[in-house]
């Protein structure tokens, strides 16, 4: 191993530079004579001084310390770290998409508007919904937008008694956060012994004070809720609406539609399901789709087609308003559009089938060593819990995941969902070959054996990475986020 890369300030040498300026054509005077008004800083900026080649090498080496889907397997549960086909980038780099301005007259950007319009239509079809807004910039932003739409819908019927949103205990953490941010009180619904929503508990709390239920299906355990019809009946009969969190939509494309399951509003994560890059904090895109009764509340603008030209429609009667500057994360939409067009309906269906097949194959390869809290076929992801390993060796999920780094794969999601002790949540996605699935399964099995033969080595893992086990508590309590001279 090369060891830790020094900071750019640490390789700096006074006087070393990466530029050579042409001879001065004006009279040389002290800078203060050109800028006499006190604009000049008193102390030097202390920028690092390095040669061009050292600068390039430094940042290239730093870039090599990253892990990403283009480097290796990345089975991060509920994040859908599938391979992003490079044709998406090609399409998003077409000058017709990159060289336009948000304020350009509509007649000059008809191609861009057509792409947005068609993407809205495709997403509506995949969702089983009637109308789509591409505005929200990410999944949680889509959730918040959707919950505001639910609120606006109830308010338009003069129904102000609905102050609660129901959320299963297996939900993504963003669900309760979105509910609270939209001004609702959230009520948690427990899971049943099959890993689905506890119908009796739902039945008990669903009343005229409840605005709606947020559900992910398949849920974070990777399990499809078999009672979805019953659930939607209970919620709808008492005046509530159903929100579908599309984070796990990679399991159902072309096979099951949230609209058909009875959902009224949903978001998709284009950066998960529709193969646009993510993982570094963005950019994401979380379009919201609704049934026609909710269409009057969508955020503006929506792209429409009048038979001759495409236009941005701001005339949505009960709109909740704008949720994003301009028109959402445009180039992310282009990439998702390219993905949908290159796969087509059959290709999308195949992608979901392979995602589910890969997850089930992987699951069955490791259950001899890792315990399965709900013994069912999974969808696109699954959750296991190393209960035996923990009890018999004292090694935890954290140790196993850190050790996986030594095998060159990104660890799965850890300690989530919270309803499973020591959860390891694995989402292999459809783009992995049997070879890479086998490599990962073999690694997990080898680590399980290491837990018995050498638990101490697991506690101290990782051993081959640039930095070893980090002090996570220290990082949370006393974060040092910025370099300062003399640190």
Residues near another protein (CB under 8 A):
398, 414-415, 418-419, 421, 472-473, 476-477
**Which residues make Cβ contacts (< 8 Å) with residue 360, sequence separation at least 6?**
377, 378, 382
Min separation Cβ 211 and another protein, Å = 22
Min separation Cβ 113 and another protein, Å = 43
Residue 477 or 485 having the CB closest to another protein: 477
Residue 292 or 391 having the CB closest to another protein: 391
Q: With CA atoms as reference, report the closest residue to 425 among 379, 462, 471, 391.
A: 379
408 CA to centre of own chain: 22
State the distance between the two ends of the chain, measured CA to CA, in whole angstroms. Answer: 25
From CA 350, how far away is CA 355, in angstroms rounded? 8
Residue 318 or 387 having the CB closest to another protein: 387
10 Å CB burial of residue 338 (0-12, 13-18, 19+) is buried
Residue 47 or 473 having the CB closest to another protein: 473
Min separation Cβ 476 and another protein, Å = 4
Min separation Cβ 459 and another protein, Å = 13
Residue 45 or 473 having the CB closest to another protein: 473
Beta strands in 104-251 (DSSP E): 131-133, 164-168, 185-189, 210-215, 241-246
From CA 428, how far away is CA 413, in angstroms rounded? 11
Whether the Cβ atoms of residue 48 and residue 59 lie closer than 8 Å to each other: no
Min separation Cβ 195 and another protein, Å = 12
Min separation Cβ 176 and another protein, Å = 11
Min separation Cβ 424 and another protein, Å = 13
Residue 421 or 442 having the CB closest to another protein: 421
Min separation Cβ 315 and another protein, Å = 43
Q: Report helix, strand or coil for 31.
A: helix
- What Cα–Cα distance (Å) separates residue 361 from each residue in 219, 248, 381, 426? 19, 18, 11, 12
Whether the Cβ atoms of residue 7 and residue 55 lie closer than 8 Å to each other: no
Whether the Cβ atoms of residue 284 and residue 278 lie closer than 8 Å to each other: yes
Q: What are phi and psi of 191, to 5 degrees?
A: -90, 155
Task: Tell which phi-psi region holds residue 267, choosing left (phi > 0), alpha (psi between -120 and 50) or beta.
Answer: beta
Q: Where are the alpha helices (DSSP H) in 367-453?
A: 387-393, 397-406, 434-453
Min separation Cβ 419 and another protein, Å = 5
Residue 219 or 285 having the CB closest to another protein: 219
Whether the Cβ atoms of residue 373 and residue 418 lie closer than 8 Å to each other: no
Min separation Cβ 133 and another protein, Å = 32
Residue 195 or 212 having the CB closest to another protein: 195
Residue 65 or 418 having the CB closest to another protein: 418
Q: With CA atoms as reference, report the closest residue to 343 among 30, 45, 85.
A: 85
Q: With CA atoms as reference, report the closest residue to 310 among 443, 118, 476, 149.
A: 118
Residue 180 or 418 having the CB closest to another protein: 418
Neighbours of 210 (CB within 10 A): 23
Residue 152 or 398 having the CB closest to another protein: 398
Residue 27 or 472 having the CB closest to another protein: 472
Min separation Cβ 471 and another protein, Å = 9
**Which residues make Cβ contacts (< 8 Å) with residue 486, sequence separation at least 6?**
none
Min separation Cβ 463 and another protein, Å = 21
């Amino acid at each position: 191993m090369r060891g830790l890369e020094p900071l750019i300030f640490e390789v700096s040498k006074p006087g070393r530079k990466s530029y050579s300026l042409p001879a001065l054509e004006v009279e040389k005077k002290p800078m203060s004579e050109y800028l006499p008004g006190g604009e000049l800083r008193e102390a030097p900026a202390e920028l690092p001084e390095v040669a061009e080649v050292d600068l390039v090498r430094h940042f290239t080496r730093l870039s090599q310390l990253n892990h990403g889907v283009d480097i290796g397997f990345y089975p991060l549960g509920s994040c859908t770290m599938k391979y992003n086909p490079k044709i998406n980038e090609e399409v998003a780099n077409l000058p017709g998409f990159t060289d336009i301005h948000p304020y350009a007259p509509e007649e000059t950007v008809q191609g861009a508007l057509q792409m947005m319009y068609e993407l809205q239509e495709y997403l509506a079809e995949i969702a089983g919904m009637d109308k789509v807004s591409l505005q929200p910039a990410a999944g949680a932003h889509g959730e918040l937008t959707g919950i505001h739409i639910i609120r606006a819908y109830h308010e338009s019927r003069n129904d102000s008694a609905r102050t609660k949103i129901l959320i299963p205990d297996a939900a993504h953490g963003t669900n309760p956060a979105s509910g609270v941010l939209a001004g609702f009180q959230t009520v948690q619904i427990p899971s049943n012994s099959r890993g689905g929503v506890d119908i009796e508990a739902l039945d008990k709390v669903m009343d005229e004070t409840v605005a709606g239920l947020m559900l992910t299906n398949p849920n974070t355990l990777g399990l499809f809720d078999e009672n979805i019809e019953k659930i939607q009946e209970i919620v709808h009969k008492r005046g509530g609406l159903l929100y579908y969190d599309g984070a796990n939509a990679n399991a159902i494309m072309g096979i099951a539609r949230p609209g058909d399951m009875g959902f009224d509003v949903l978001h998709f994560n284009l950066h998960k399901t529709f193969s646009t890059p993510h993982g570094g904090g963005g950019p994401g895109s979380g379009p919201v789709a609704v049934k026609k009764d909710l269409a009057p509340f969508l955020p503006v603008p929506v792209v429409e087609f009048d038979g001759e030209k495409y236009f941005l429609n701001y005339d949505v009667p009960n709109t909740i308003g704008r949720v994003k500057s301009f028109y959402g994360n445009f180039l992310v939409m282009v990439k998702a559009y390219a993905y949908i067009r290159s796969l087509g309906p059959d290709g999308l269906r195949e992608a979901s089938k392979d995602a589910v097949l890969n997850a089930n194959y992987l699951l069955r390869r490791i259950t001899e060593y890792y315990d399965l809290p709900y013994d069912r076929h999974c969808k696109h992801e699954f959750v296991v819990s190393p209960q035996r390993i923990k009890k018999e060796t004292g090694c935890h999920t954290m140790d196993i995941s850190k050790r996986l780094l030594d095998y060159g794969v990104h660890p799965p999601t850890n300690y989530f969902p919270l309803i499973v002790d020591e959860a390891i949540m694995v989402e292999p996605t459809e783009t992995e070959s049997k070879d890479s699935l086998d490599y990962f399964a073999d690694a997990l099995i080898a680590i399980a054996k290491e837990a018995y033969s050498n638990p101490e080595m697991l506690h101290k893992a990782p051993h081959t990475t640039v930095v070893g086990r980090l002090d996570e508590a220290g990082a949370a309590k006393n974060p040092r986020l910025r370099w300062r001279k003399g640190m």
